[in-house]
Amino acid sequence: MVNGTEVYSDSSLPSADFIKSAYKHFQLNYPKFYKMDHLCKLAMVASDLLLKHNPITKKYASEDIAIIIANSASSLEIDTEHQNTISDKNNYFPSPAVFVYTLANILIGEIAIRNSIKGENTFFIFDKFDADFMGSYNNSLLSSNKATCCISGWVEFYENEYEAFLYLVEKEKNELNIEHTSEQLNKLYINQI
């Protein structure tokens, strides 16, 4: 869903395949996508759709755009994969291509690289989407001029369950005209997930 409108669905596919099929459907055309773990792939599709509809990088300086994202399971999906490569001495094959993704903030790095965004970046871990904290922290970044625009939200992928809810916060009103409050964030989160 983008701005409340469904843009693609396929309930027949398992999580990882659905993300790949969405990538193809939208012709996102970013070969690095295939190297990524599931969590980053999910973040990539969600952020591409968000930024395609809102070209903020044309509007704001790259160092003034913040990326503030959270989830619950951190990178546990790929952590388990890395653990499996080292648990048997006779079948020992740790790989840098896997290990590098064993940090959830890599998905912020991937969004930053894809869109040349250089501002504040922080990855938080909560048991569930915390609209109160995310709302007030992004507001404080904007009001203290540490950012002019924030890409924020929730990206989770663990044990075949996934959720991605990304949104933009700007100082100026845009055509959606939604006030940035925790009530609104909760409403959007519940409606979209």
Partner 1 sequence: MNAFIIADNIISPLGFTSSENFDELKKMHTGVKRLEKSTLSNEPVCAAVIDTNKLDAAFQKLSAKQEYTRLEKMVILSINDCLNQNKNIDISNKKTLFIFSSTKGNVDLLDASLASKFDKKRIYLWETANVIAKHFNNPNQALTVSNACISGVLAIILAKRLLEENKYDTIIVSGADILTHFVVSGFQSFKAISNEVAKPYDVKRDGISLGEGCGTVVVSNNKSLAVTLSASSRAESRDEGQASAIIISGGASSNDANHISGPSRTGDGLLLAIEKTLKESNVKASEVNYISGHGTATLYNDDMESLAITDAQLASVPMNSLKSYFGHTLGAAGVIESIIGIHSMRENTLIGTYNFNELGVTKPINIIKNTQKQEVNNCLKTAAGFGGCNAAVFFQKHR
- Own/partner contacts of 174-180, CB < 8 Å, gap of 24 or more, are 174/54, 176/3, 180/135, 180/138, 180/139
Cα 43–Cα 48–Cα 49 angle in degrees, nearest 5: 105
Mark 143-162 with x for binding to partner 1 (rule: CB under 8 A) and - for no binding.
-x-x----------------
- Own/partner contacts of 116-120, CB < 8 Å, gap of 24 or more, are 116/57, 116/62, 117/57, 117/62, 117/65, 117/67, 117/151, 118/62, 118/63, 118/65, 119/62, 119/63, 119/64, 119/65, 119/66, 119/67, 119/147, 120/66, 120/67, 120/68, 120/146, 120/147
Among 21, 26, 60, 109, the residue binding partner 1 under the rule CB under 8 A is 109
Question: 101, 55, 63, 62: which is closest to 81 by C-alpha?
Answer: 101
Residue 182 makes contact with partner 1 by CB under 8 A:
no
Please choose, out of 44-52, 132-140, 164-172, 174-182, the segment that lies near partner 1 by the rule CB under 8 A: 132-140
Residue 62 makes contact with partner 1 by CB under 8 A:
yes
Residue 63 makes contact with partner 1 by CB under 8 A:
yes
Among 94, 160, 161, 190, the residue binding partner 1 under the rule CB under 8 A is 94
Mark 22-41 with x for binding to partner 1 (rule: CB under 8 A) and - for no binding.
--------------------
Please choose, out of 21-29, 77-85, 165-173, 183-191, the segment that lies near partner 1 by the rule CB under 8 A: 77-85
Residue 92 makes contact with partner 1 by CB under 8 A:
yes
Point out which residues bind partner 1 (CB under 8 A): 62-63, 67, 72-74, 76, 79-80, 82-83, 85-87, 89, 92, 94-96, 99-100, 102-106, 108-110, 112-113, 115-127, 130, 133, 136-137, 140, 144, 146
